[in-house]
Structure 1
Amino acid sequence: MNVQMKPIGTVINAITQKPEQTFKWEDVVSEIHLKPELAEGLTRIEEFSHLNIIWSPHQSPPEGMALLVYPRGQTEFGKVGVFASRSPFRPNPIAKTLVRLLEHKGNVLKVKGLDAINGTPVLDIKPFITDYDSDKEATVAPWIKKT
């Protein structure tokens, strides 16, 4: 089976290279420029406060992929499997970030909290829907640090 994806847009922001691990992404404001021919697909998106942005960490080298990683550099907890982490060094470089939608104009979305650098390809956009995207019974590993 061969899966191919084409970017639907690009991230535009002031972050031009991967920052330090302690960088506060939640304050970053970015624009997502969709291909103009896809703009109609954003109709009524402003009725949502938050969006899930699916993007490709395109600067993560494939040779850097590892099956065991330190989660966000937290070495005190030991390594975890890549699928139990949010590491960008994955077999398929795909990432998802929940962002706040600030503005929608034409084919451009202004969002806050997207942890992607300038020029990052966007693969898809999905609205955050509380009943679908959260579960009251969900738990997280004890090594996940709250920020």
Structure 2
Amino acid sequence: MEITLQPVATVKNFRTEPIDDNWETIIAEIELADHIPTEAFNNISSFSHLEIIYYFDKVEKEDIVFSGHPRGNVNYPMTGIFGQRKKDRPNTIGLATVELLEHNNRTIKVKFLDAINGTPVLDIKPVFKEFQPKTEIKQPIWVADLMKNYWK
């Protein structure tokens, strides 16, 4: 089965390299694609957070490995691709929950989006409390170490 998607928007920021850390200071604009009407953003300001689904268009298919040490660090356990959030994924799709800072016509400004300048956006969804986890979130202890500088 082949699935064809067309970007609905594009990320605009000053970050051009997909580096794993120091994303907190990055403020990104997401600008609607020409074929998407401005009305698609109607009432978006009513939400504090959005989920951005985007495409890692710079990932080379030969970089995709289905298991390995996260970030190549042998101090972390061998972990399958579906137990990691790295960009080198089978379908090269990213997902981020962002804070909506501003809406202006065909553009929204967000914080906590770990996508580089020019990244194609596949979808934008508001965060509903009702879709958030109902039980405690569990994760291995190595994740906190891996993420310690991500949002700095």
TM-score, with normalisation over the residues of structure 1? 0.91
Aligned length: 145
1:111 is aligned to: 110
What are structure 2's unaligned runs of at least 5 residues? none
Aligned-partner Cα distance in 2 for 1:60–1:78:
23
Is the 1:39–1:107 Cα contact (8 Å) retained in structure 2?
yes
Aligned-partner Cα distance in 1 for 2:31–2:68:
32
Is the 1:8–1:38 Cα contact (8 Å) retained in structure 2?
no
Aligned-partner Cα distance in 2 for 1:69–1:46:
40
Q: Percent identity?
A: 37
Q: Are 2:6 and 1:9 aligned?
A: no
Aligned-partner Cα distance in 2 for 1:127–1:72:
30
Deviation per CA, 1:80-133, whole angstroms, max 9, x where unpaired? 000110011111010001111000011100001110100000000011112202
- SS for the counterpart of 1:131 is helix
Distance 1:60 1:41, change over 3 A: same
Q: Are 2:24 and 1:30 aligned?
A: no
1:1-147 equivalence runs, <5 A: 1-19=1-19, 21=20, 23-36=21-34, 37-145=36-144, 147=148
State the one-letter code of the partner of 2:7: P
- SS for the counterpart of 2:75 is helix
The structural deviation recorded for 1:73 is 4.3
What are structure 1's unaligned runs of at least 5 residues? none
Aligned-partner Cα distance in 2 for 1:2–1:137:
36
- SS for the counterpart of 1:76 is coil
Aligned-partner Cα distance in 1 for 2:130–2:140:
22
The structural deviation recorded for 1:142 is 2.8
The structural deviation recorded for 1:134 is 2.4
Aligned-partner Cα distance in 2 for 1:18–1:138:
27
The structural deviation recorded for 1:35 is 1.8
Give the superposed CA RMSD.
1.5
Aligned-partner Cα distance in 2 for 1:73–1:25:
20
TM-score, with normalisation over the residues of structure 2? 0.88
Deviation per CA, 1:20-67, whole angstroms, max 9, x where unpaired? x3x221221000001243321111111111111000111111111001
